[in-house]
Amino acid sequence: MIGQAAGETAETSQSQRKVILASSLGTVFEWYDFYLYGLLATIISAQFFSGVDETTGFIFALAAFAAGFAVRPFGALVFGRIGDLVGRKNTFLVTMGLMGLSTFLVGVLPGYASIGVAAPVLLVLLRLVQGLALGGEYGGAATYVAEHAPEGKRGLFTSFIQTTATLGLFAALGVVIIIRSLIGEEAFADWGWRLPFLISVILLGVSLWIRLQLEESPVFQQMKAEGTTSKAPLTEAFGRWANLKWVVIALFGAVAGQAVVWYSGQFYALFFLEKTLKVDGATANIMIAIALALGTPFFIFFGWLSDKIGRKPIILAGCTLAALTYFPAFQMLTSAANPALAEAQARAPVTVLTSHGKCSFQFDPIGKNKFNGSGCDIAKSYLAKAGIPYEHVVQNSRRWDRSITIVRVGDTGVDIPEPGQYDGAEGGMTKPLETALKAAGYPARADPARIDKPMVVAILFYLVLLVTMVYGPIAALLVELFPSRIRYTAMSLPYHIGNGWFGGFLPTTAFAMVAATGNIYYGLWYPVVVAAATVVVGLLFLPETFRRPIHA
């Protein structure tokens, strides 16, 4: 009897490991497909949007990337409903097939030069399919794993799913870097960029084969046998306040904060290093890759810990730490990555002095738009592109000459004339400002020799650690929050609204805030406010779930 019990335990353990491996591996491949487009957006812009000018083409390419985030909640509704009607396993097999097929088709899609405007239209359609598929994948994988997990280990089991986004990003980066190094940059830009998309069909075949070996979730099998599955999951989940209120609480009391902390720690930090602190891309990628590699095991640690002390305190602690420490952490990042910028900012702060109404709203997500309607526009555009923080002060005094814009660099004042008052060569209007900034010690780029790389990695690791705190336990919490008959549908929607909208649009929103104010840290108010609001809502309304049975 003891031998039989031991054999059954070993078999059960092997089956559980297979569930985790198959679900996690498939989700890694889906994230690989999803991030591949973002990594190659510049090349995709040249291939598919070449019918317009370069700037507009890149904007369209970024818009197509964002479209994948925008439709994720709709994918959650479509595939969540199917998952609650026909089963977890079959549904995420469909989402994986859609993701893999659409990614492969991007690799064979003719460019603008071959089929004209049909090329970008088809590309956007494929991107929308990717977003819809990802919207259905996560909820299925998380639900499937949680419903296979033994009591007291759901946090640990589902935490492996939480590592997949990071691992998918690693996989995409690795494939792109290897192919680029093997065939060269010129060949990669011409045709080699298609290879990472084509390779995805191999990954699709492997993951589909592994998932086909799995059985349906035991919870769903039991509901099917008892005839208790939902006949109208959307109506039951969102048309009844008893369930809808938990969707709202999950979104604002957990997922919104988790999403902004995740995207700040993994994506905005990289953007801040490259765009704002002017660290070269290769160095920034390597440092954040090291931080991610060091931090990834903590997804599993915090998932395990949430089985011991609960999901809520870990997630809300991560949001609280983010709200309290983001400003000092990013200021330390500036001092470590570009000390010359931090020193110049302290020694000779920059102030733009104008009359009211002279400046346009400065929003330039790709660094190529021209703002030349006034001297103020010219000055602020130059400072933004140079990554120079500044304060804009409006002068209301009647003695102020409304036609003059003055930029103060410490104690030095530089007049910026209006475009109609200047007859010199293009770029000459900002030449005195460039000279003053250089004299004050403002660097054009971060000096590689002065980057304190261990400190930068340590700060990035801290930011990733906060990501693991909020993200490690979130899948288990969402699964436990909703009844099994509508679980797939109900948990997927708040997750993808939070991560697709609150998180996915964070870099663009934060950059707009920085561009509007000139304060390089101002964009942090977005994640800080959302994380703080999540803490308040979570403390007041979010229940603890880690001891709940999930078969009800």
pLDDT digits (tens, 9 = 90+) for 417-429: 776 665 555 456 6
Q: What pLDDT shows up at residue 9? A: 47
Q: What pLDDT shows up at residue 358? A: 64
Query: Which of 463, 173, 458, 464 is closest to 292 using CA atoms?
Result: 464
**Euclidean distance between CA atoms 14 and 5, whole angstroms:** 14
Cα 243 off chain centre by: 28
- Single-letter residue type at 138: Y
**Kind of pairing, strands 350-354 and 391-394?**
parallel
Span 138-157, average pLDDT: 85
**Euclidean distance between CA atoms 443 and 279, whole angstroms:** 11
**More confident of the two residues 155 and 145:** 155
Tokens of 302: 């915090």
Q: Which residue carries 């949430």 as its tokens?
A: 306
In the chain the domains, ranked by start, together with CATH numbers, are: 18-337+453-496 (1.20.1250.20), 343-439 (3.40.30)
**Euclidean distance between CA atoms 220 and 84, whole angstroms:** 8
What is the band of 366 on the pLDDT scale with cuts at 50, 70, 90?
very low
Q: CA dist 257 to 77, 229, 297, 463, 471, Å? A: 22, 32, 21, 14, 10
Phi, psi (5° rounding) for residue 444?
Answer: -75, -35
Tokens of 334: 């500036």
**More confident of the two residues 213 and 76:** 76
Query: Which of 331, 307, 347 is closest to 544 using CA atoms?
Result: 307
**Residues forming beta bridges with residue 406, ordered by sequence position:** 353, 415
What percent of the chain has pLDDT above 70? 87
* Count of beta carbons in the 10 Å neighbourhood of residue 5: 9
Kindly report the pTM of this predicted structure: 0.84
Tokens of 530: 């959302």
Query: Which of 178, 187, 203, 194 is closest to 40 using CA atoms?
Result: 194
The answer to whether 338 and 443 have CB atoms below 8 angstroms apart is yes
Which stretch, 224-228, 250-254, 344-348, has highest mean pLDDT? 250-254
**Euclidean distance between CA atoms 468 and 490, whole angstroms:** 23
Angle at 109 between CA 104 and CA 113, to 5 degrees: 155
**More confident of the two residues 215 and 74:** 74
Does residue 8 surpass a pLDDT of 50?
no
**Kind of pairing, strands 405-409 and 412-416?**
antiparallel
**Euclidean distance between CA atoms 363 and 370, whole angstroms:** 10
Does residue 56 surpass a pLDDT of 60?
no
Tokens of 42: 């510049």
Q: CA dist 444 to 341, 407, 441, Å? A: 9, 18, 9
The answer to whether 262 and 503 have CB atoms below 8 angstroms apart is yes
Span 64-89, average pLDDT: 82
What is the band of 472 on the pLDDT scale with cuts at 50, 70, 90?
very high
Does residue 261 surpass a pLDDT of 80?
yes
**Residues forming beta bridges with residue 407, ordered by sequence position:** 352, 414
**Euclidean distance between CA atoms 173 and 191, whole angstroms:** 18
Q: What pLDDT shows up at residue 360? A: 64
What is the band of 368 on the pLDDT scale with cuts at 50, 70, 90?
very low
Query: Which of 528, 532, 497 is closest to 513 using CA atoms?
Result: 528
Average pLDDT of the chain is 83
What is the band of 475 on the pLDDT scale with cuts at 50, 70, 90?
very high
**More confident of the two residues 455 and 549:** 455
**Euclidean distance between CA atoms 162 and 307, whole angstroms:** 15
**Euclidean distance between CA atoms 16 and 374, whole angstroms:** 65
**Euclidean distance between CA atoms 149 and 295, whole angstroms:** 24
pLDDT digits (tens, 9 = 90+) for 307-326: 999 999 999 999 999 999 99
**Euclidean distance between CA atoms 222 and 229, whole angstroms:** 9
